[in-house]
Chain A
């Protein structure tokens, strides 16, 4: 999974995965080549987009985000974090809409192992307003 993430971010190439070069995985190799295409090897940046038209400021992303939970104790009880925001805080709800404060502490960038696969903000948003992407 870590390899897949790195591949999406352009940090590694398909050929870096040696088992894939074996003849028995040729079909998978070709499919990947077709999917990644010319984007292979181009370094991509993580983006988290919050659709303002869809967001209703329920604050689920603020509470569910593991980074917020670690650095903002009120969010453990579902409460709004303190103001001004803590420097690690990723999300806050301001004027009825979710606002992304600081992406650099996101687990997808800072985390290790399985933590890098974190996408809880996207998967639990009831309005489907949060989108994680690499551009």
Chain B
């Protein structure tokens, strides 16, 4: 039995301090990982694992060889004129690059999960700019943590441990000097770590934008907050929040699905980025920065790969093997029926997207490249199983703070199962 220090791909935090005990074939013990991470390591032998390539025949999925599945997938793609590629947030950056190459090769449209998540923030930041921070900075320097629309204790379990309770390099104390502010309509498990000095703002659902505008106004002309408060938040609490915001040495606002998934998300994000700019302009000691809490471990990776190769972080449309301008997203493409086959890599859009879109998506041939069974698996026409990145194959991943982290192979994959990157390369070679 050997102990190895590995990186966990359970969530976007990519904890690199996990110790596993393995005999080279199976993972026996996982030390340091949360329940989410442990589940990821368990996936290797889980019942939900896809262990054989499959092709749909007479409305039933039947097992086949890898060669046959690849051949069938190539046949579907070759016969289509408007293929769409989607997912790519639970694969490594090499596979993401290969996905973009495939989209270019077949003149298709490629998008990642970030379009319905933090990709919106990246878009808004093109106009307003954005101050980012890293997890190391949060551990060592931060004294104010704001969790806005995020139940961090349950979505990224180890983040509170690292961000709030760690002591860091430059301080003798940890939790005692850190203040947290939680802004959420619901009282979540994250509220349980709050102390007397912390601020809890239970805002009314969908009224975050009013709160941000009130804070912006208060920044410009003090004492402008109405006496009865804003969006369900108390006036005194808001004043305390603003004092914290402008007097902090190093503060971070963590935003979750409550912000990026709201109905007026683009407006809210734009206003929030402007508020951070205004606060930073008034800051005497330090600065406020932003961190986006994504779910999938390499969602940020796709944005970086696409930005570095084509200068656009999502929604890449190719025509004549060249990138062309488009205002389409994966949602509009599916909604308008502007596709004739789909290639889904490491994602489950049938579960994630609304029913009307899922129905349209599965009405046309769907090729799935994934390692676990899902709702999309049950609707796919061709299923090609892949290795689990970070456990059965290596590669590069981007942490939620946009820092690249190397992922390593720990155990061998099951027989005849290859990585996402190799599958996509086989498809490209077959199509050429």
Contact = CB atoms under 8 A, between A and B. Distances in A.
Interface string A56-91: 111110111000010000101111110100000000
Nearest to B136: A77
A59 B175 contact: no
A113 B174 CA distance: 22
A94 interface: yes
Interface residues of B, number: 37
Interface stretch (B50-58, B67-75, B151-159, B368-376): B151-159
A127 B29 contact: no
Nearest to A97: B35
Interface string B1-45: 001000000000001011100000000011111111111000000
A114 interface: no
Nearest to B20: A83
A88 to B, nearest CB: 17
A126 B29 contact: no
B128 interface: no
Contacts of B239: none
Contacts of A58: 34, 153, 157-158, 160-161
Interface secondary structure of A, over-half rule: loop
Given A60-B193, A69-B167, A96-B37, A126 B31 contact: no
A98 B168 CA distance: 22
A127 B152 CA distance: 12
Contacts of A56: 34-36, 154, 157
A57 B165 contact: no
A80 B163 contact: no
Contact of A96 (B34, B139, B169, B193): B34
Interface size class of A (residues with CB under 8 A): 20 to 34
Contacts of B192: 124-128
Which of A62, A95, A97, A128 lies at the interface centre, i.e. has the most chain B CB atoms within 10 A of its CB? A95
A92 interface: yes
B17 A74 contact: yes
Given A63-B165, A80-B18, A94 B30 contact: yes
Among A57, A83, A92: residue with most chain B CB under 10 A: A57
Which residue, of B15, B36, B139, B157, has the highest number of chain A Cβ atoms within 10 A? Answer: B157
A93 interface: yes
B243 interface: no
Nearest to B38: A96
B426 interface: no
Contact of B33 (A57, A77, A83, A124): A57
B162 interface: yes
B166 A92 contact: no
A99 B432 CA distance: 55
A59 B166 CA distance: 11
Contacts of B38: 57, 95-96
A95 B161 contact: no
A79 B17 contact: yes
Contacts of B189: 126-127
Interface of A: 55-60, 62-64, 69, 74, 76-81, 83, 92-97, 124-128
16 contacts: A57-B35, A59-B32, A76-B167, A79-B32, A79-B162, A92-B32, A93-B33, A93-B34, A94-B29, A94-B30, A94-B31, A95-B38, A96-B36, A96-B37, A126-B190, A127-B192
Interface of B: 3, 15, 17-19, 29-39, 139-140, 153-154, 157-158, 160-163, 165-169, 174-175, 189-190, 192-193
